[in-house]
A = this chain, B = another copy of it.
Amino acid sequence: MEQEPLLMIPGPVPIPQRVRAAMTRQAINHRGPEFGAAYAETVQTLKTLFGTVNELYIISGSGSAGMEAGVANFARDKRIVSLVNGKFGDRFAKIGARYGTVTTLESEWGTPLDLAALERELEAGAEVVTMVHNETSAGIKNPAPEVGKLARKHDALFIMDGVTSIGGDDVRMDEWGVDIAVVGSQKCLAAPAGLAAIAVGDRAWDRISEKRPFYLDMAAYRKSGKGSPMETPYTPAVPLFLALHEACKMIEEEGVAARIARHRRMADAVRAAAKGWGVDLFPTLDEHHAYSNTATAMRIPDGVTDNDLRGTVKKFGIEIAGGQDHLKGKIFRIGTMGGVGAQEILATLAAVQFALRKSGFAAGDGVEAAAGVLLG
């Protein structure tokens, strides 16, 4: 029997059967009360995960569409400072450049952001800060609370990419001073790819641009979202909304705190495995930065090739991720997001351990170390 492949990449992640089944029902009218109620309930759960009481709307589009909505509506023709220490930070800077004047503060991928340089830019008049909270390309978690504090101090807007943290790690949008935050459906929420949720605070609404795109016009989302029933301005991807609604029900059943603890435990287990193997974690940290709890990046040991490592793992029906762009061949990454648990982690780590040893690397027993962590 051929198994379905197990995706242990930093999203998309395996989708629980219940969530997939939610998509099979017949088309419903997206202007009717049933759709509106599902939308509204989903928004409530997401607000909890964002740590916000702000308005929150769902866009039929990828996480990048959500980031663009934040920039195009609230940073147009403004001075933007973009913090970059990985691929998605880089993408965020590129989105910014389509709409405003961007100063990029780039650190080497996987190394700490330069908060002192950020403060200088804010003192020099930057109006918007963009940052990726959890940079899966490098396995690093960036200091949202510190950046939020600096942005507030200088009256700048803070737009945060929470695509791979919200729902899997502790996020406190309001407490941290984040003005706009975005999550993608296919990461920690364990729903299919294709939706982005965006929360927008009052400071951002007060500064919304007169010139806005059409499909990503947040004023239109706001108007339709405040109707009864709750609606989207344009035809939504109905099956994906129904799937995300079901995924949110599962999140409520698990409990948000338990879900975040589970994600942290899974990442701890992977890090324990790396230590057991004698494989280096990729990021370089300082007191403001931490390892990601939803994607762990490790250096590929000398003498092992990316192809051999991931190719062997794939023979077990398990996909892990390589490095992106200039990190290709240098690192490998394991996602610990969504609904996965001990079974998937153990299988993946056992496959990686086998692959490392097969390639001639004398890996210690990381699986044993991880198993201990998983049992707490």
| A interface, CB within 8 angstroms of B | 4-5, 7, 9, 11-15, 20-21, 23-30, 60-65, 68, 72, 94-95, 98, 184, 186, 192-195, 211-216, 234-240, 243, 319
6 further A-B pairs in the complex, CB-CB below 8 A; given A23-B23, A23-B24, A98-B214: A7-B26, A7-B29, A23-B192, A64-B234, A186-B238, A192-B238
Tell me how many chains of this kind the complex includes. 2
List B contacts of A61 (CB < 8 A).
Answer: 60-61, 65, 215
Dominant SS among interface residues on chain A: loop
In the complex, are the beta carbons of A235 and B29 less than 8 A apart?
Answer: no
In the complex, are the beta carbons of A21 and B24 less than 8 A apart?
Answer: yes
User: When A and B form their complex, which 10 residue pairs have the shortest distance between CB atoms, in order from nearest?
Assistant: A194-B237, A4-B26, A65-B215, A62-B234, A23-B23, A62-B235, A64-B234, A12-B27, A20-B24, A192-B239
> Given that A62-B235, A65-B61, A235-B12 are contacting pairs, would A213 and B98 also be in contact in the complex, using a CB cutoff of 8 Å?
yes
> Given that A27-B7, A194-B236 are contacting pairs, would A215 and B15 also be in contact in the complex, using a CB cutoff of 8 Å?
no
List B contacts of A60 (CB < 8 A).
Answer: 60-62, 65, 194, 237
Most chain B beta-carbon contacts within 10 A, residue among A29, A94, A193:
A193
List B contacts of A237 (CB < 8 A).
Answer: 60, 62, 192-195, 237, 240
* A-B pairs with beta carbons under 8 Å apart, 11 shown: A7-B27, A12-B27, A12-B29, A15-B26, A62-B235, A63-B234, A63-B235, A98-B211, A186-B235, A215-B216, A237-B237
